[in-house]
Amino acid sequence: MSVPEAAATPWIDRRDALEAWLAHLPADAALGVDTEFMRRNTFHPQLALLQLGWSGRYALVDPLAFDIADTLRARVAEGPMVTVMHSAGEDLEALAPLLPQGPATLFDTQIAAAFVGMGLGLSYRALVAELVGVELDKGETRSDWLQRPLTESQRLYATLDVVYLEPVHAQLAARLAERGRTAWHAEDCERLKRRADVHEGDPQPQRGFRAAADWSRARQALLRRILLWRDRSARTLDRPRSWLLEDALALSLVQDLPRSLAEFEQRSRGQRALRSAQRAELFELLARTPDADELAATAPIPASMPGPAKKALAAMKEAVDRLAGELDLPPGLLCPRKVLEEYLTTGEWPEFLEGWRRGVLHERLSTLLPDATVAM
């Protein structure tokens, strides 16, 4: 496969040029897609570049020059076209304002590689080296993609990110079919699309703060309240969560409530996005005692597992590992440890294990709950 020169790849900064490039694609093409985006001082990723590739033709599309949404949506979000991407989660998030439901059909090459026995979380560089025999240069990984014009080095790097998607897709699709895993892969790609389309954060963010596991339910509810506020505010202001409220400060404020606005302002100095309006709002949230409804809505933070639960977790992990070996799948793809912990904590079958995973895991895992209760 010939490698294009950066200057030979068209730079598209007009709608009619993008429409003309896409017009050459057959309806059922497998279109290679990648993005470059920046996320240094914002909550939402800033889409800076869109790379397209099909049948030896490549394009670099400038989303800063014109609104690409309608043109892209008409070809990618509708119809039989397959969109080929590698590790698409963050790319789908960057594209979400343009493609809220993602592409009509997504083929994620990283997920496919895991399904065909190449390992979990394989990088694009490693995948291209393994399947195509080409070593890619990653020298522009931390470039400023919002600058204009891009350098020749940036343009070549960006183009190469889609050059090899076509041969990689062809080989992985064939291997998936040989193993009978095409439907499983498609299901996980759909799950990835749904996850990227979520416009709200975790409804129970306090569960990630194990240091507060021994707090009272009221303190845990208050922690949840201000973490939910942080997520909403960060999205609205388009600033990183930590700029509004760092994790350590969140724990400190709930554990030792500020007695006055002046004290709160003193303790929260250094939070770059916390302005007067946000400080007043957050202080008011800290001052209000959680009511019965809020307590009931707050899931308890998982504490250290008691003996029976630890034994059950070990048994479940062993069952997952054994089945993963039989299926030649990475255990982390089949069922991550944190999903097993969720199952043990709630007793309810996790959403992650719905679909094809339910069919292969439910009978094995449900009988291993400590109280032998079958969660449906």
pLDDT tens for the 376 residues of the chain, in order: 556 655 579 999 999 999 999 999 999 999 999 999 998 899 999 999 999 999 999 999 999 999 999 999 999 998 899 999 999 999 999 999 999 999 999 999 999 999 999 999 999 999 999 999 999 987 766 789 999 999 999 999 999 999 999 999 999 999 999 999 999 999 999 999 998 876 678 999 999 999 999 999 999 999 999 999 999 999 999 999 999 999 999 999 999 999 999 999 999 999 999 999 999 999 999 999 999 999 999 999 988 778 888 999 999 999 999 999 999 999 999 999 999 998 998 889 999 999 999 999 999 999 999 874 444 4
pLDDT (0 to 100) of residue 375? 42
pLDDT (0 to 100) of residue 245? 97
| Domain 205-297 part of CATH 1.10.150.80 | yes
Helix/strand/coil for 57 = strand
216-244 in b/e form (b: 16+ CB < 10 A) is: eeebbbbbbbbbbbbbebbeebebebbbb
The reply to whether 205-297 shares the fold of 6-196 is no
Question: What residues does 361 pair with on adjacent strands?
Answer: none
The kind and range of the H/E element at 23 are helix 15-23
* β pairing state of 82-85 and 105-108: parallel
pLDDT (0 to 100) of residue 5? 56
Which residue ranges make up each domain of the chain? Answer: 6-196, 205-297, 307-366
pLDDT (0 to 100) of residue 40? 84
Q: Which class for 69: exposed (0-12), middle (13-18), buried (19 or more C-beta within 10 A)?
A: middle
| Domain 6-196 part of CATH 3.30.420.10 | yes
Q: How many CA atoms lie within 13 A of 244 on its CB side?
A: 25
| Of 4, 344, 314, residue with least CA distance to 159 | 4
Give me the helix-helix angle, 69-76 and 15-23, nearest 10°: 10
pLDDT (0 to 100) of residue 303? 80
pLDDT (0 to 100) of residue 373? 45
pLDDT (0 to 100) of residue 201? 85
Q: Which two tokens stand for residue 353?
A: 């294990």
How many angstroms from the chain centroid is the CA of residue 125? 20
Question: What residues does 38 pair with on adjacent strands?
Answer: 46
